[in-house]
């Protein structure tokens, strides 16, 4: 048996098996370091409120704030670590503070529990990460729109069922992914609204007999609103992480599909796009290879990210109300996914910024039938009934006699077609979504 040092819940003559301690702590310290800055910010707001309601005198509050700001500076400078014998980030911050300012440091936990403390830490952390993801998505969106405009006149074969279908363009293809990110950010914006509610002051889930001012901490921490009901404030733990994961998964799905397209289009049998040698990899035995490893890993990582909401669902299912230690594991499920998604966004942007687009793709004989619908529509415009026009063109195809001269140009004018990408409208939609992250 080993004595429990530096634990907020430790009492005299109590100890915990080292095996139990190792199992229950798990990887929590690893992820708690990410919460350190937000734990201090939460404590600054909480103690400011304690003074305002008369639970802390001004002298103690000033000493506490000086100590907390010193710890915050150390965290931001990368000089903070959770001690070997310290259970978590909350214990470490309180321990450091008490060592530095004395007994006043022991007063910062009045009116709160580790349950609402970690809940507010996670919400503050998620808000900051959501903003970073939003910014990265917007950057990729702007790149896609720019490339869509640049290559809007470069034709590209479109496929259905992986069969040659109808003419498309690089502008249409790239613009599609830009608009997809708009809808993805709608989900992320919804998760932002959920994360932007303050659980601090809910204690262990049943409030406090202290006259806490939860509206004040909400204002000090710049939350949009409160989780009002103290029981629900605890129920939001895990649920918030799951909703954020859904927003991340939507973005990941778009990146995965784009990565698959790029891996396909770089293939020699397509040859639509290419990338510099230093952005592809080679083979140990085939000197001609230029493998799209970056896109393959983006695809794989983003597919894993899409599993995160389901993993959280399996963790949370059938838990009754109230806090349960199961919730500790939400960190190790969600936090790595956030980092992976940000890396995938960055790498997608790097690759697309260095993409070369092949010209005159459609001159290849295998794309001859790509214009069959164009031919049918021309006959319809001349007064031939659609079914008759379809039959005439189909007969030419069966005889191997179909030809179509697309050099005279394609006349697609409706919204969202090759000739009318509506990128300006899509940009407007993105601006509206970005405005929701406040």
Residue identified by tokens 């040659």 is: 164
Distance CA 175, CA 157 (A): 15
Rg (CA), the chain: 29
Q: Taking Cα atoms as reference points, which of 224, 79, 192 lies closest to residue 125?
A: 192
Helix (H) or strand (E) holding 62: helix 58-76
Interval 118-130 mean pLDDT: 97
Quickly list H helices, 221-268: 230-265
pLDDT band at 187 (very low <50, low <70, confident <90, very high): very high
Distance CA 85, CA 21 (A): 11
Interval 63-67 mean pLDDT: 97
Cβ atoms within 10 Å, residue 304: 15
Interval 57-64 mean pLDDT: 97
The mean predicted confidence, pLDDT, of the chain is 92
Name the CA dihedral angle for 430, 141, 184, 198, rounded to a multiple of 10 degrees.
-70
Between 237 and 287, the higher pLDDT residue: 237
Cβ atoms within 10 Å, residue 212: 23
Those residues with Cβ within 8 angstroms of residue 209's Cβ, 6 or more apart along the chain or in another chain = none
Count H helices, E strands: the chain?
14, 8
Phi, psi of 169 (to 5 degrees): -150, 160
Give the start-end residues of each E strand in 192-326.
197-198, 225-226, 273-274
Burial of 276 (0-12, 13-18, 19+ CB in 10 A): exposed
Sign of CA dihedral 161, 164, 170, 171: negative
pLDDT band at 285 (very low <50, low <70, confident <90, very high): low
Strand pairing partners for 291? Answer: 281
Those residues with Cβ within 8 angstroms of residue 193's Cβ, 6 or more apart along the chain or in another chain = 224, 436
Cβ atoms within 10 Å, residue 66: 12
Between 321 and 282, the higher pLDDT residue: 321
Angle at 201 between CA 195 and CA 205, to 5 degrees: 85
Cβ atoms within 10 Å, residue 320: 6
What does the pLDDT look like over 401-433, one tens digit per residue? Answer: 898 888 777 888 899 999 999 999 999 999 999
Q: Domain-by-domain residue ranges, the chain?
A: 19-107, 114-131+172-210+225-362+428-434, 365-404
Q: Which residues have a catalytic role annotated?
A: 161, 283
Distance CA 256, CA 295 (A): 8
Give the start-end residues of each E strand in 102-213.
155-160, 163-169, 197-198
Those residues with Cβ within 8 angstroms of residue 364's Cβ, 6 or more apart along the chain or in another chain = none
Distance CA 380, CA 40 (A): 70
Q: Percent of the chain scored above 90 by pLDDT? A: 79
> Tokens standing for 44?
């600054």
Rounded to 10°, the helix 170-195/230-265 angle is 170
Q: How many residues does the chain have?
A: 438
What does the pLDDT look like over 140-182, one tens digit per residue? Answer: 999 999 999 999 999 999 999 999 999 999 999 999 999 999 9
Q: Which pLDDT score, from 0 to 100, does residue 291 have?
A: 83
Q: Taking Cα atoms as reference points, which of 227, 163, 235 lies closest to residue 200?
A: 227
Domain at 19-107, CATH class:
mainly alpha
CB 124 within 8 A of CB 221: yes
Domain 114-131+172-210+225-362+428-434: give its CATH code.
1.20.200.10
Helix (H) or strand (E) holding 179: helix 170-195
pLDDT band at 191 (very low <50, low <70, confident <90, very high): very high
């Amino acid at each position: 048996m080993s004595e429990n040092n530096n634990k907020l819940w430790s009492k005299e003559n109590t100890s915990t098996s080292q095996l139990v301690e190792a199992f229950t702590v798990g990887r929590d310290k690893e992820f708690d370091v990410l919460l350190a800055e937000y734990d201090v910010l939460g404590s600054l707001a909480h103690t400011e409120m304690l003074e305002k309601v008369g639970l802390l005198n001004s002298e103690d509050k000033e000493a506490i704030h000086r100590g907390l700001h010193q710890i915050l500076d150390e965290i931001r400078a990368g000089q903070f670590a959770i001690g070997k014998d310290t259970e978590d980030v909350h214990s470490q911050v309180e321990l450091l503070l008490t060592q530095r300012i004395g007994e006043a440091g022991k007063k910062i936990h009045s009116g709160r529990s580790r349950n609402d403390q970690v809940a507010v830490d996670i919400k503050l952390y998620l808000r900051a990460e959501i903003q970073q993801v939003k910014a990265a998505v917007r950057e990729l969106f702007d790149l896609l729109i720019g490339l869509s405009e640049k290559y809007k006149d470069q034709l590209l074969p479109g496929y259905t069922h992986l069969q040659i279908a109808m003419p498309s363009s690089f502008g249409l293809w790239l613009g599609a992914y830009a608009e997809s990110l708009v809808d993805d950010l709608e989900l992320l914006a919804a998760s932002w609204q959920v994360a932007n509610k303050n659980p601090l002051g809910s204690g262990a889930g049943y409030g406090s007999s202290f006259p806490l001012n939860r509206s004040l901490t909400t204002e000090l921490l710049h939350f949009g609103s409160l989780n009002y009901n103290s029981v629900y404030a605890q129920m939001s733990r895990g649920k918030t992480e799951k909703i954020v994961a859904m927003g991340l998964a939507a973005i990941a799905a778009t990146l995965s599909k784009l990565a698959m397209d790029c891996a396909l289009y770089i293939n020699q049998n397509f040859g639509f796009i290419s990338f510099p040698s230093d952005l592809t990899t080679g083979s140990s035995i085939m000197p001609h290879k230029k493998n799209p490893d970056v896109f393959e890993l983006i695809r794989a990582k983003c597919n894993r990210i899409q599993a995160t909401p389901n993993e959280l669902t399996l963790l949370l299912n059938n838990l009754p109300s109230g806090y349960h230690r199961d919730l500790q594991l939400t960190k190790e499920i969600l936090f790595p996914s956030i980092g992976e998604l940000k890396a995938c966004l960055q790498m997608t942007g790097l690759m697309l910024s260095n993409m070369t687009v092949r010209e005159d793709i459609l001159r290849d004989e295998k794309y001859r039938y790509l214009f069959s619908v164009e031919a049918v529509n021309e006959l319809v415009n001349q007064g031939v009934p659609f079914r008759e026009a379809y039959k005439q063109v189909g007969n030419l195809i069966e005889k191997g006699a179909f030809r179509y001269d697309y050099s005279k140009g394609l006349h697609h004018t409706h919204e969202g077609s090759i000739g009318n990408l509506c990128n300006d409208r899509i940009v407007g939609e993105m601006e509206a979504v970005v405005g929701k992250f406040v």
